[in-house]
Chains A and B, each alone.
Chain A
Amino acid sequence: MFESLSQRLSDTVQRLRGRGRLTEANIRESLREVRIALLEADVALPVVQALIQRVQARAVGQEVLKSLTPGQALVKVVRDELTALMGTVNTELNLAQQPPAIVLVAGLQGAGKTTTVAKLARFLVERKKKKVMVVSCDVYRPAAIDQLQTLAAQVGVGFFPSSGAQDPVAIARAALDAARREVADVLIVDTAGRLHVDAEMMDEVKALHATLNPVETLFVVDAMTGQDAATTAKAFAEALPLTGVILTKTDGDARGGAALSVRYVTGRPIKFLGAGEKTDALEPFHPDRIAQRILGMGDVLSLVEEVERKVDQAKAARLAEKVVKGKRFDMNDMRDQLEQMVNMGGLGALMDKLPGVGSLPDSVKSKVNDREIKRMIALIQSMTKKERRHPDLLNGSRRARVARGAGQQPADVNRLLKQYQQMEKMMSKLASGGMKGLMRQMQGALKRGGMPPMR
């Protein structure tokens, strides 16, 4: 998500960056482009107008025109305003309450509430070490309760059974009793999808809120929503005292305008992003980082955190030691690296967060896929231990054998070896130049048209 918006904005911003002088006319022209980019990204019109007005006011003021590098200063203004629009820091769930802390989840049909409840439950169990119970008050959609039951079993949290014949408020009350009895830390309440214009259904969710008195009331919204996101969010925020927003389906190519709109209209922080089909695909939302990502500056901080969480620390430490000591990077290390990449959700997920990737053409991005990585791992696995330690041994007949073993062509082995050499070179650079040198190297390689290991 966010890439295409990033691309449009960073193009505009790039053009300004180098300018020594800015006139009011070319600021206006740039802002017009920013406006169209935002509208095409489905940011609600009132929000676009507010943002542009604020940027314009600051841009034609002293701050930018009198600056030594006006282009840079304007970029800074746009970034500041985008960040301000989205809130400044990540807001965590507030669960500091006498247990059970209750989380109520509401939204339109098909926004992804039930899936989000399961993801949230897993997040709280695994990362916050909470005892979680979930309950569904969706008595309308066929099999909605079964869906939550199945998901609850998958993520291993308590499920309070309910049935379509019951009253939602009664279900909520019974679930609350059960959560108290079983000393759950958190009770997450799923509700039926409802239209904000359906007064009866809105009254029902208000009644649920009054019964449960939840510490967190979360509004779930589809990242692909258009201009209507603002209207819907406003109606929900008026009906319920929302405490936060969860943005779902952000793994698509929607430009994420809904994020800006909902945040602006409700004034409530976006707390999480849903980014995939699996139950672990929930990320805390960091507005400042997203603003940087939108402007094409990359979200390296989130990347680092994800790496820290998912990378096998022992293996990483071993490799780091090896590199620092100037020892050779061999095929075993390369396989470890490739496996780590697969573990982290593949290259696509990583590239999303790297600076500069937004401006790559789609044709290049689509070439990066994990199949290739798995094939490479297969090749390494069909080498002997000795060959893995000393790849130079691989002569023609050995290469042919390795290719046969992995069900591939000798040309694939050659390609792997070439990539290995590049990686080895990078590793030695890393030993001498540090992380900064490596990043620069990678950025250069990306601009040339492909991740180095993929060529």
Chain B
Amino acid sequence: MLKFWKKKPAAAGDAAQPEPAADADAVAAPSAAPPRGWRERLAGNALARGLGVLFARHPRLDDALLDELETVLLTADVGVAATQALVEDLRTRMHRRAFADADALLAALREDMRAMLAPVARPLDVSAAKPFVLLMVGVNGVGKTTTIGKLARRYRDEGRDVLLAAGDTFRAAAVKQLEAWGERDGVPVIAQGQGADAASVIFDALQAARARGCDVLIADTAGRLHTQGGLMDELGKIKRVLGKLDAAAPHEVLMVIDGTTGQNAINQVRQFRDAVGVSGLVVTKLDGTAKGGVVFALAREFGLPIRYVGLGEGAEDLREFEPRAFVDGLLPETLGATA
């Protein structure tokens, strides 16, 4: 697998961890019981573990350290461009002797990564309009409907009146899935059944939301691959139709991205942004070993705010995005500790 696991422990210096095999195991078999908090959850993921191993075994400052740092970032889906930018910057500074030791280098890396994410950490304020219309979009299977279920619970718990619109009229039983969430959350769902026109369902739902004086309307849409022009046009239509009732609607177009997605996420966001003007992102499925590193590439490329992250299946596992917690969770706090 990774190069540095193959190196003999003797070659790695005194402070090296004695058991390379154990390190490899730790990476291959993550802990069975995931801890609770934001930071703890993310700390269990491969990027953090990878970096932990790296710094534990290579306390010396040299180009080899940077090369392996590059490897770790690449393996975390950070992407070639973003990785090279980060690593080259570190390299220049290292050659200017800006770092006293590996600890300082790690701190600088953490700072850089935080700085990349700081501009995109803008939470969503749904009290800006009434009803505040959220349009959920994304490719197939990223977790749109599940995210809607979690959002509905969140807003309801904040004491808002929430209404859901079953705009995924294509996939078999998608309407039923949303209705099940509505029931679970105690939130009404506007639906017309499978095969109906999505724009018309969502239009009806907005009328209903106004009539009932709801605070938030969350509209589901069918998953669609960003390469399918016809389906992307349909999203544009939904947006136009909403605009007829309320020129400001939708107030937020939330695009859901699967955290396990690789560099293709960039193409996805670009196409959806061009078709419906995405205004915020939700990154889901970060509770596995997925590293979510593509978030850095997205922040670099688009600067779209990341509103929420999905960290598990429960309704409470949707959190606001906090770069400090995210990066602190990704990088180990201290060096030399076991990964």
A222 engages B258 (CB within 8 Å): yes
Q: How far is the CA of A147 from the CA of B140 in the complex (A)?
A: 14
A196 engages B288 (CB within 8 Å): yes
The segment from B73-81, B94-102, B209-217, B331-339 that touches chain A is B73-81
Q: How far is the CA of A195 from the CA of B20 in the complex (A)?
A: 26
B140 engages A228 (CB within 8 Å): no
B225 engages A197 (CB within 8 Å): no
A253 within 8 A of B: yes
Interface size grouping (class) on chain A: 35 or more
Residue of A nearest to B149 (CB): A142
B290 touches which one: A41, A146, A147, A228 (CB < 8 A)? A228
The proximity string for A residues 46-90 relative to B, scoring 1 for CB distances below 8 Å and 0 otherwise, is 100100000000000000000000000000000000000000000
Chain A residues near B143 (CB-CB < 8 A): 109-110
B264 engages A255 (CB within 8 Å): yes
B291 within 8 A of A: yes
B32 engages A199 (CB within 8 Å): yes
B174 engages A143 (CB within 8 Å): yes
Q: How far is the CA of A257 from the CA of B184 in the complex (A)?
A: 39
Chain A residues near B177 (CB-CB < 8 A): 141-144, 146-147
Residue of B nearest to A141 (CB): B177
B173 engages A143 (CB within 8 Å): yes
A224 engages B261 (CB within 8 Å): yes
Q: How far is the CA of A249 from the CA of B77 in the complex (A)?
A: 19
B176 engages A226 (CB within 8 Å): no
Shortest C-beta distance, B225 to chain A (Å), equals 4
Q: How far is the CA of A151 from the CA of B262 in the complex (A)?
A: 29
A146 engages B1 (CB within 8 Å): no
Shortest C-beta distance, B175 to chain A (Å), equals 8
Residue of A nearest to B171 (CB): A147
The proximity string for B residues 177-193 relative to A, scoring 1 for CB distances below 8 Å and 0 otherwise, is 10111001000000000
Residue of A nearest to B180 (CB): A142
Q: How far is the CA of A141 from the CA of B294 in the complex (A)?
A: 27
Residue of B nearest to A45 (CB): B75
B289 engages A224 (CB within 8 Å): no
B80 engages A249 (CB within 8 Å): no
Shortest C-beta distance, B314 to chain A (Å), equals 12
A369 within 8 A of B: yes
Most A C-beta atoms less than 10 A away, residue of B171, B264, B267: B264
Shortest C-beta distance, B4 to chain A (Å), equals 12
B139 within 8 A of A: yes
Chain A residues near B260 (CB-CB < 8 A): 108, 222, 225-226, 228-229, 232
Most B C-beta atoms less than 10 A away, residue of A144, A197, A232: A197
B207 within 8 A of A: no
B139 engages A108 (CB within 8 Å): no
The proximity string for B residues 77-90 relative to A, scoring 1 for CB distances below 8 Å and 0 otherwise, is 10110000000000
A227 touches which one: B3, B34, B76 (CB < 8 A)? B76
Interface size grouping (class) on chain B: 35 or more
The proximity string for B residues 279-295 relative to A, scoring 1 for CB distances below 8 Å and 0 otherwise, is 00000010111110110
Q: How far is the CA of A146 from the CA of B227 in the complex (A)?
A: 28
The proximity string for A residues 218-235 relative to B, scoring 1 for CB distances below 8 Å and 0 otherwise, is 000010111111011011
Shortest C-beta distance, B290 to chain A (Å), equals 4
Interchain pairs with CB closer than 8 A, number: 157
A411 within 8 A of B: no
Q: How far is the CA of A144 from the CA of B177 in the complex (A)?
A: 7
B288 engages A108 (CB within 8 Å): yes
**A45 and B288 in contact (CB under 8 A), knowing A143-B176, A150-B173, A226-B261?**
no
Task: Enumerate A254-274 residues with CB–CB distance to B below 8 Å.
Answer: 254-255, 257-258
**A111 and B141 in contact (CB under 8 A), knowing A39-B80, A224-B264, A226-B260?**
yes
A40 within 8 A of B: yes
B139 touches which one: A142, A249, A257 (CB < 8 A)? A249
A251 within 8 A of B: yes
B289 engages A228 (CB within 8 Å): yes
B181 engages A42 (CB within 8 Å): no
A257 engages B176 (CB within 8 Å): no
B227 engages A253 (CB within 8 Å): yes
B140 touches which one: A110, A150, A255, A369 (CB < 8 A)? A110
Chain B residues near A45 (CB-CB < 8 A): 2, 71, 74-75
B2 touches which one: A46, A143, A147 (CB < 8 A)? A46
A296 within 8 A of B: no
Residue of A nearest to B290 (CB): A228
Most B C-beta atoms less than 10 A away, residue of A144, A254, A366: A254
A345 within 8 A of B: no
**A109 and B287 in contact (CB under 8 A), knowing A197-B32, A228-B260?**
no
B225 engages A251 (CB within 8 Å): yes
A154 touches which one: B77, B172, B291 (CB < 8 A)? B172
Chain B residues near A214 (CB-CB < 8 A): none
Chain B residues near A227 (CB-CB < 8 A): 74-77, 262, 291, 293
A36 within 8 A of B: yes
Task: Enumerate A154-199 residues with CB–CB distance to B below 8 Å.
Answer: 154, 195-197, 199
Chain A residues near B32 (CB-CB < 8 A): 197, 199
Chain A residues near B1 (CB-CB < 8 A): 46
Residue of B nearest to A164 (CB): B180
Shortest C-beta distance, A11 to chain B (Å), equals 16
Shortest C-beta distance, B54 to chain A (Å), equals 14
A277 within 8 A of B: yes
**A252 and B74 in contact (CB under 8 A), knowing A42-B262, A224-B261, A231-B289?**
no
Chain B residues near A110 (CB-CB < 8 A): 140-143, 258, 285
Task: Enumerate B139-187 residues with CB–CB distance to A below 8 Å.
Answer: 139-143, 146, 170-174, 176-177, 179-181, 184
B170 touches which one: A39, A146, A196, A277 (CB < 8 A)? A277
Shortest C-beta distance, B326 to chain A (Å), equals 17
Q: How far is the CA of A112 from the CA of B34 in the complex (A)?
A: 25
Q: How far is the CA of A406 from the CA of B226 in the complex (A)?
A: 31
Shortest C-beta distance, B55 to chain A (Å), equals 19
Task: Enumerate B21-43 residues with CB–CB distance to A below 8 Å.
Answer: 28, 30-34
The proximity string for B residues 248-285 relative to A, scoring 1 for CB distances below 8 Å and 0 otherwise, is 00000000001011111101100000000000000001
**A146 and B172 in contact (CB under 8 A), knowing A108-B288, A226-B294, A252-B227?**
yes
B330 within 8 A of A: no
Most B C-beta atoms less than 10 A away, residue of A36, A110, A222: A110
B289 engages A196 (CB within 8 Å): yes
18 contacts between A and B (CB under 8 A): A40-B79, A42-B263, A108-B288, A112-B140, A144-B173, A147-B172, A147-B177, A197-B288, A224-B258, A225-B260, A226-B260, A227-B76, A228-B291, A231-B46, A249-B141, A252-B227, A257-B262, A366-B229
- Pairs of residues from A and B, 7 with the lowest C-beta to C-beta distance, nearest first: A226-B262, A110-B141, A142-B180, A42-B262, A150-B172, A147-B173, A143-B176
Given contact pairs A40-B263, A42-B263, A232-B289, a sample of 13 additional A-B residue pairs in the complex whose CB atoms are under 8 Å apart: A40-B80, A41-B263, A142-B179, A143-B176, A148-B172, A197-B287, A222-B141, A226-B262, A226-B291, A226-B293, A231-B28, A235-B28, A277-B140
